[in-house]
């Protein structure tokens, strides 16, 4: 509640301000509110080109709900977020993540399917993932050869349609 004439902060005493000061303060408050509102509208209006891109960037499924995930560092479960937080905008990984024990790998479709070099655990490896094996890695945390992936990689529970959309998006990463 804002009482004109009272104090809204220990260092701002409206009662002691002259008219010019008050006007300035209210103009400033109005500006902050307008900017905040504009930001809100903009963030809600953010549209992704495809459901796959939306999942990659936000971890939000095509039905609008946060995709359930287990494993992964606590921050990805507490604050949400998508693949981009670890694998990066280009999908190439390679950068350690906060509280992570393994380095996120290159998950561009062509790297996963062996058409391009792929670094895993600091070594160059050739992976031969099929779309079904990529889905298994995402949902169950198993590598193409059946080995358990590090728990730094969350296990994501999403619909088959969302998995297909996500894989389509991985195909667009150059
Ligand atoms: C909190 C970080 C984190 C997030 C978020 C994350 N990953 Fe990972 N991911 C990893 C790490 C780390 C590895 C490597 C695990 C290892 O070396 O055993 C990995 C491995 C993978 C692999 C296996 C690749 C390989 O090299 O065998 C796939 C596929 C994958 N991630 C897809 C995804 C997708 C799709 C998403 C988003 C839905 C996602 N990841 C989100 C950290 C993450």
CB atoms within 10 A of CB 93: 22
Residue 8: the pLDDT is 59
Give the position, in ligand 1's atom list, of the atom nearest the Cα of 137: 29
| 170 C-beta neighbours (distance < 10 Å), count | 23
Distance CA 140, CA 55 (A): 17
Tokens of 45: 């209006």
CA-proximal residue: ligand 1, atom 39 (nearest): 83
Using a 10 angstrom Cβ sphere, with 0-12 exposed, 13-18 middle and 19 or more buried, the burial of residue 99 is: exposed
pLDDT in tens, 28-58: 677 666 566 565 554 555 689 999 999 999 9
**Three-class SS of residue 150?**
coil
CB of 104 closer than 6 A to ligand 1? Answer: yes
Whole-number pLDDT of residue 46: 61
Q: Where along the chain do its domains lie?
A: 2-44, 51-172
pLDDT class of 9 with cuts at 50, 70, 90:
low
Q: Is 153 in the pocket of ligand 1 (CB under 6 A)?
A: yes
Assign 20 a pLDDT band (cuts: 50, 70, 90). confident
Kindly state if the Cβ of 120 falls inside 6 Å of ligand 1: yes
């Amino acid at each position: 509640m804002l009482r004109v004439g009272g104090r809204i902060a220990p260092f701002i005493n409206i009662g002691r301000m002259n008219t010019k000061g008050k006007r300035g303060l209210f103009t400033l408050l109005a500006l902050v509110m307008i900017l905040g509102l504009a930001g809100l509208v903009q963030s809600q209006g953010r549209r992704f080109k495809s459901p796959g891109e939306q999942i990659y960037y936000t971890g939000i499924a095509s039905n609008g709900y946060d995709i359930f995930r287990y494993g992964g560092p606590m921050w990805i479960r507490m604050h949400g977020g998508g693949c981009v937080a670890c694998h990066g905008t280009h999908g190439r990984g390679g950068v350690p993540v906060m509280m992570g024990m393994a380095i996120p790998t290159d998950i561009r479709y062509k790297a996963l399917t062996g058409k391009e070099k792929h670094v895993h655990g600091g070594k160059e490896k050739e992976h031969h993932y099929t779309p079904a094996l990529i889905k298994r890695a995402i949902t169950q945390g198993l590598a193409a050869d059946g080995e358990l992936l590090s728990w730094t990689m969350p296990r994501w529970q999403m619909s088959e349609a969302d998995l297909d959309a996500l894989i389509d998006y991985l195909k667009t990463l150059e």
